[in-house]
Structure 1
Amino acid sequence: MAAKQKILVIDDSKVIRMRVKDMLPAGNIEVIEAKDGMEGLNKIRSDNPNLIMLDFLLPKKSGWEVYQELQKSAKLRSIPLVLMSGRKEEVTEKLPEPFEHFAFVEKPFEQKQLIQAIKHAMKVAPPAPKETEVAGGAAVGGDAATAAQLKALKEKVAKMETEIEGLKKQLTQLIGFIKQKLK
């Protein structure tokens, strides 16, 4: 049996959450609900949804704040996203059109508009990041920038270790000097 598709609907309106649930095709879909942005972010992290439907105006954490959190992580950014709002201008004042990596649907919407938005979101979502393993302190499968950053950090650590050794010697000499003066 195929794994269930998890769709997370983050909206403070129970009516909208129920409406989305009713409009989705029956079958292999599990609808997870969140009534505010805070709960939504927690469920994104705990439930690993295949799609997020996000209202722009939410209590506790707005849809805009949730969107910004998603953008900070390549893994979360790759989850297809449908932004929902009753007033498109609330979205466009923060995210100018054309919308690049998510779909938008204006409330109230019909089933056909919802399905089109979901299909569009799945098409435009950025690709999921490749897992990079850290083996023996070196990034395997990482990009050149990551390798360069890692090399620079190793050099800094080596330099700091040398400085620490020098400071230890100075401290030992200082303690010896003080002990001699106290005799």
Structure 2
Amino acid sequence: MESQKILIVDDSKTIRMQIKDMLPKGNFEILEAKDGAEGLEMIQQERPSLVLLDFFMPRMNGWEVVQQVQTFPKLQTIPIVMMSGRREDVEKAVPELFDYFEFVSKPFEQNLLLKAIKSATTKAKQRYQELQHTRPVTLVNSTSHGVEAESPNGVSDRDGFAGLKAEIFELRNENAKLKSELMGLKKQVSQILLVLKQKLK
């Protein structure tokens, strides 16, 4: 079975080592990045099952990384745990951040980290459900009823209608691919949660 990937993004090598020691033992491949820009690149390339992300970092901070991740549909449901020793500053900077990931204040003990990971996976599942309900729906009139797509000035536009059908076809294919990948992600998250439950007992 292919190992799951957990990405730790922090500009402190000491912190990265401490987190590695806190993670439960299992079939995990631990990846590391020393700043936000490198972390974002690894998220796009490796598509990890979990990201542990420092907020204050050089080149690109943690929130900027999260914003970039949210622009990629295939990455939006990756569980993310944000870490920082300055929670109040983080809340002032981006009050909406907790809708996208879990937060843990530095320094933290292993049990707090594991609880944050569990909460992050729950939020990721909720994001997936929200995405499924908020995907844009295009209403297409059937040409069998003699109705054609119209341009803004009211002129019949057969080419535009054909373009819409092609776009819908592509969206359906993309949606099928996303569902397949998300099923795989769900399986990985379930395995992580199983290990966490055993660890927290």
TM over 0.5: yes
Letter in 1 for 2:128: P
In the aligned structure 1, how far is the partner of 2:109 from the partner of 2:11? 19
Q: Give the superposition deviation at 1:90.
A: 2.3
Please tell me the residue identity of whatever aligns with 1:119: K
Aligned to 1:77: 76
Which ranges of structure 1 fall in alignment gaps of 5 or more residues? 131-141, 159-183
**Counterpart for residue 55 of structure 2:** 56
Tell me the SS of whatever aligns to 2:42. Answer: helix
Structure 2, gaps ≥5 residues long: 142-148, 152-156, 164-201
Alignment of 1:20-169 (within 5 A): 20-96=19-95, 99-125=98-124, 126-127=127-128, 143-145=136-138, 154-155=159-160
For 2:8 and 2:94, locate their aligned partners in 1 and report how far apart those are by CA, in whole Å.
20
Deviations 1:85-125 (A, max 9, x none): 01002221133268223110001110000000000000011
Measured in 1, the distance between the counterparts of 2:85 and 2:107 equals 7
Structure 1 position 77, deviation (Å): 1.8
**Any idea what the Cα deviations from partners look like across 1:53-93, whole Å, max 9, x if unmatched?**
11001111111211211122222221101000010022211
1:123–1:60: structure 2 CA closer, same or farther, 3 Å change rule? Answer: same
What is the alpha-carbon distance in structure 1 between the residues aligned to residue 90 and residue 74 of structure 2?
Answer: 23
Identity %, equivalent residues: 48
Kindly tell me the number of residue pairs found equivalent between the two proteins.
144
- Contact kept, 8 Å, 2:84 with 2:105, in 1: the verdict is yes
Counterpart AA for 1:100: D
Over 3 Å counting, the alpha-carbon distance change for 1:146 and 1:22 in structure 2 is farther
TM-score (norm 1): 0.69
AA at the equivalent of 1:72: T
Q: 1:145 to 1:156 in 2, by over 3 A?
A: closer
For residues 153-176 of structure 1, give each alpha carbon's deviation from its aligned partner in whole angstroms, at most 9, with x where no partner exists: 952999xxxxxxxxxxxxxxxxxx
8 Å CA contact 2:37–2:60 kept in 1: the answer is yes
What is the aligned partner in structure 2 of residue 12 from structure 1? 11
Moved over 6 A (4+): none
Higher strand proportion (structure 1 or 2): 1
Q: For residues 41 and 5 of structure 1, what CA distance do their matches in structure 2 show?
A: 18
* CA distance in structure 1 between the aligned counterparts of 2:77 and 2:33, rounded to whole angstroms: 20
Structure number with the higher helix fraction is: 2
Distance 1:93 1:5 in 2: 34
- Distance change (3 Å), C-alpha of 1:127 and 1:27: same
Instruction: Work out the CA distance in 2 between the residues paired with 1:147 and 1:57.
Output: 47
Amino acid at match of 1:144: V
State the secondary structure of the residue aligned to 2:98: coil
Structure 1 residues 56 and 147, CA gap change in structure 2 (3 angstroms):
farther
